[in-house]
Amino acid sequence: MAHDDTAFRLLAELTGLSGVSGQEEPLRTALRDHLASRVDRVRTDALGNLLGIKHGQPAGPRLLLAAHMDEIGLVVTQIEGGFLRFARVGGADLRVLPAQEVTVHTAQGDLPGVVASRPPHVLGPEERRRPFRQAQLFIDLGLEEAQVRERVQVGDFVSLRQETVRLGQAFATGKAVDNRASLVVLLRTLDHLQTMAHAWEVVALATVQEEITLGGAYTGTYSVRPHVGIALDVTFARQPGVADEEGVAWDRGPAIALGPNIHPRVRERLVETAQRHEIPYVEEVLPGHSGTDAWAIQVTRSGVPTGLLSLPIRNMHTPGETVCLRDMERTARLLAHFIAELEPDWTP
């Protein structure tokens, strides 16, 4: 299907680029081009947030659509022999790091590496039963110590390396699907808006540092001064080991969040829009801090009425994050209709 192909192509391209929290530049450079062809103006702020502004009616209110650019990764903390010690940036799952291929981003360019660990044969029976601790893992570059010291510096960022592939007809798996899938939704929403009139100005904000501090969403929202904000992120899809109450169904459309982090009228309007256009959706109750950019948006300045749309994914914070391409297209369609139908005088 044509739409799925577009979504998959964009997802494969964006997940193939690195953007570890604090070093989002490789992704930002490519995303800037994609955004520039879909909006009236693009700018980057001091922290590295990317903002794309698409005009509505003159003096119309402003809607913020935010999706984070950054991904979980690693950072070099020490060079030991020819090997690299590292710390995690964001919540990478230690249990699946051994044997993971990585890219070390040095001042002189990228180096491929692999997360090495002691083979099972040399582990005692107790050790074999437990997952590796951080101190037992290191990155192997296949270089002599002198070569490593010449090229790698403490503080260099490291991203996971994983090709994004299709699963079945409508699914895709890879690294950094959290949150590149939402960036694709952002781009696809803007595609729909090329042929739809809208009174509200739309500011597409690709945020930095969500995985560590939500820093980009705080500063970005502060400068945009939106009348309404919507964050786009991922949530837990049900899978073996993730019970019904811990996750939401996938391939049933986006999860529309409700709870104290969400403005009830924004949520209600998203639900009404989905129903009017027969776009499937599920509901997700978040009893507190959503752990997403929606939190930062809601409490910036004197507060912003905020909504949250999440794509259900499996295997979160592993290199095998899996998403439904149909859910991505449904979310983009929902957002485009939501935006096009906002009256100039609507307030939540």
- Positions marked active-site: 210
Between 7 and 193, whose beta carbon lies closer to Zn ion? 7
Between 68 and 263, whose beta carbon lies closer to Zn ion? 68
Minimum distance from CB of 261 to Zn ion (Å)? 15
What is the spatial distance between Cα 348 and Cα 342, in angstroms, rounded to a whole number? Answer: 11
Distances (CA, A) of 136 to 86, 227, 343: 11, 49, 58
Q: Please report, as a single letter, which amino acid is at residue 78.
A: Q
Q: Please report, as a single letter, which amino acid is at residue 59.
A: A
Query: Cβ(89)–Cβ(73) under 8 Å?
Result: yes
Between 158 and 231, whose beta carbon lies closer to Zn ion? 231
> Which tokens belong to 168?
């079945």
What is the spatial distance between Cα 23 and Cα 166, in angstroms, rounded to a whole number? Answer: 27
Interface with Zn ion includes 293 (CB under 5 A)? no
Q: Please report, as a single letter, which amino acid is at residue 1.
A: M
Number of residues that bind Zn ion (CB under 5 A): 3
Minimum distance from CB of 339 to Zn ion (Å)? 22
User: What b/e readout covers 258-285, taking b as 16+ CB neighbours within 10 angstroms?
Assistant: bbebbbeebbebbeebbeeeebebbebe
Q: What is the largest CA-CA distance in the chain?
A: 70
* Residues recorded for the chain: 348
- Judged by CB under 5 A, the chain residues 31 through 60 that form the site for Zn ion are none
Minimum distance from CB of 67 to Zn ion (Å)? 8
Between 61 and 174, whose beta carbon lies closer to Zn ion? 174
Between 4 and 178, whose beta carbon lies closer to Zn ion? 178
What is the spatial distance between Cα 210 and Cα 27, in angstroms, rounded to a whole number? Answer: 15
Minimum distance from CB of 177 to Zn ion (Å)? 9
Report the interhelical angle of 25-36 vs 2-15 (nearest 10°): 150
Out of 201, 233, 293, 329, the residue judged to bind Zn ion by CB under 5 A: 233
- Judged by CB under 5 A, the chain residues 151 through 180 that form the site for Zn ion are 178-179
Minimum distance from CB of 178 to Zn ion (Å)? 4
Minimum distance from CB of 291 to Zn ion (Å)? 8
Contact characters 192-231, Zn ion, x per CB under 5 A: ----------------------------------------
Between 178 and 327, whose beta carbon lies closer to Zn ion? 178
| Alpha helix ranges (H) inside 157-247 | 177-193, 215-224
Q: Which residues bind Zn ion (CB under 5 A)?
A: 178-179, 233
